[in-house]
């Protein structure tokens, strides 16, 4: 009887341990981690070392050829390669920075420092006090040449260190245009508007306040 009492628990333990790989093989066992492509509204800070090149391409709508060129990868690198296995080309933080710049997306640190409320993002800018327009542009401000059509007016203002009301005035925008409008969308809303115009305005402002 004592031998049987020992054997039964051992059988139960072996069965339990064996069930995990079997369940994984049949797709019954799933981890709780979320893939980059399953996140709603993924940001560059959701990019992890376990993310694959395919995940990044899908989540941020970047064609494979453009993504490889952006990251300086050879064409024969498999699309299912994980970023942590490609750190000889780019560290994960570098990948985030390149994607952020390419897509005109803020990082978590940028959004936490100056994240507009939902009311601010949709409201017209208020005029700045006299003498505050020409505040020195910080060195880390995004250069005008790197402004993308996917950036919103709010993002241009924050990342390029130009007051939102100055941006509106110099671009000749009406106050009822939301600050969450992208430059690409403005082309359909404002006759003759081009992203290059925003770059010119920001470049002139940055040059004046250097």
Question: How buried is 96 (Cβ within 10 angstroms: 0-12 exposed, 13-18 middle, 19+ buried)?
Answer: buried
Confidence of residue 132 (pLDDT cuts 50, 70, 90): very low
Cα dihedral 57, 60, 63, 66, rounded to 10, equals -90
- The closest of 154, 155, 149 to 184, measured between CA atoms, is 149
Same domain, yes or no: 137 and 204: yes
Is the pLDDT at 113 greater than 50? The verdict is: no
The DSSP symbol for 190 reads S
Buried b (16+ CB within 10 A) or exposed e, 102-141: bebbbbeebeeeeebeeeeeebebeeeeeeebeeebeeeb
| Backbone conformation region of residue 82, classed left if phi is above 0, alpha if psi is from -120 to 50, else beta | beta
Q: Which domain holds residue 155?
A: 116-209
Looking at residue 11, its pLDDT comes to 60
- Whole-angstrom CA distances from 36 to 53, 62, 128 are 11, 14, 40
* Percentage, residues of the chain above pLDDT 70: 66
Q: Average pLDDT of 76-89?
A: 93
Residue 31 lies in a domain: no
- The closest of 62, 110, 144 to 71, measured between CA atoms, is 62
Residue 93 lies in a domain: yes
pLDDT, one tens digit per residue, over 21-47 is: 544 444 444 444 456 767 677 888 889
Same domain, yes or no: 181 and 125: yes
Same domain, yes or no: 130 and 203: yes
Q: Average pLDDT of 77-82?
A: 94
Residue at a domain's end among 54, 87, 110 = 110
Residue at a domain's end among 110, 138, 164 = 110
Same domain, yes or no: 46 and 87: yes
Using only C-alpha atoms, the chain has a radius of gyration, in whole angstroms, of 25
Is the pLDDT at 10 greater than 60? The verdict is: no
Is the pLDDT at 139 greater than 90? The verdict is: no
Is the pLDDT at 156 greater than 70? The verdict is: yes
Same domain, yes or no: 120 and 84: no
Same domain, yes or no: 160 and 186: yes
Is the pLDDT at 72 greater than 60? The verdict is: yes
Residue 120 lies in a domain: yes
Residue 18 lies in a domain: no
Same domain, yes or no: 102 and 144: no
Question: How buried is 162 (Cβ within 10 angstroms: 0-12 exposed, 13-18 middle, 19+ buried)?
Answer: buried
Q: Rounded mean pLDDT of the chain?
A: 77
CB 82 within 8 A of CB 52: yes
Which range (32-41, 144-153, 154-163, 181-190) has the least confidence? 32-41
CB 201 within 8 A of CB 164: no
Looking at residue 129, its pLDDT comes to 46
Same domain, yes or no: 160 and 120: yes
Q: How far apart are CA 184 and CA 188, in angstroms?
A: 8
Same domain, yes or no: 146 and 63: no
Same domain, yes or no: 125 and 161: yes
More confidently predicted of 107 and 200: 200
Looking at residue 41, its pLDDT comes to 75
Domains of the chain: total: 2
When mean pLDDT is compared over 2-16, 21-35, 145-159, the highest value belongs to: 145-159
Tokens of 112: 């936490």
Which range (14-28, 87-101, 158-172) has the least confidence? 14-28
Q: Average pLDDT of 1-14?
A: 56
């Amino acid at each position: 009887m004592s031998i049987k009492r020992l054997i039964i628990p051992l059988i139960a333990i072996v069965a339990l341990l064996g069930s995990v790989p079997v369940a994984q093989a049949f797709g019954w066992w799933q981890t709780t981690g979320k893939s980059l492509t399953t996140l709603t509204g993924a940001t560059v800070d959701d990019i992890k070392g376990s993310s694959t090149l395919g995940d990044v391409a899908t989540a941020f709508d970047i064609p494979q050829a453009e993504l490889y060129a952006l990251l300086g990868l050879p064409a024969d690198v498999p699309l299912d390669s994980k970023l942590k296995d490609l750190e000889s080309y780019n560290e994960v933080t570098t990948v985030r920075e390149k994607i952020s710049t390419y897509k005109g997306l803020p990082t978590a640190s940028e959004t936490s420092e100056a994240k507009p409320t939902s009311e601010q993002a949709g409201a017209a800018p208020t005029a700045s006090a006299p003498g505050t327009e020409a505040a020195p542009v910080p060195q880390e401000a995004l250069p005008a040449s790197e402004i993308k059509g996917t950036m919103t007016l709010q993002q241009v203002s924050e990342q390029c260190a130009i007051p939102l009301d100055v941006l509106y005035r110099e671009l000749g925008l009406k106050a009822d245009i939301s600050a969450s409008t992208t430059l690409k969308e403005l082309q359909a809303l404002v006759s003759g508007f081009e992203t290059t115009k925003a770059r010119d305005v920001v470049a002139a402002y940055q040059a004046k306040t250097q």
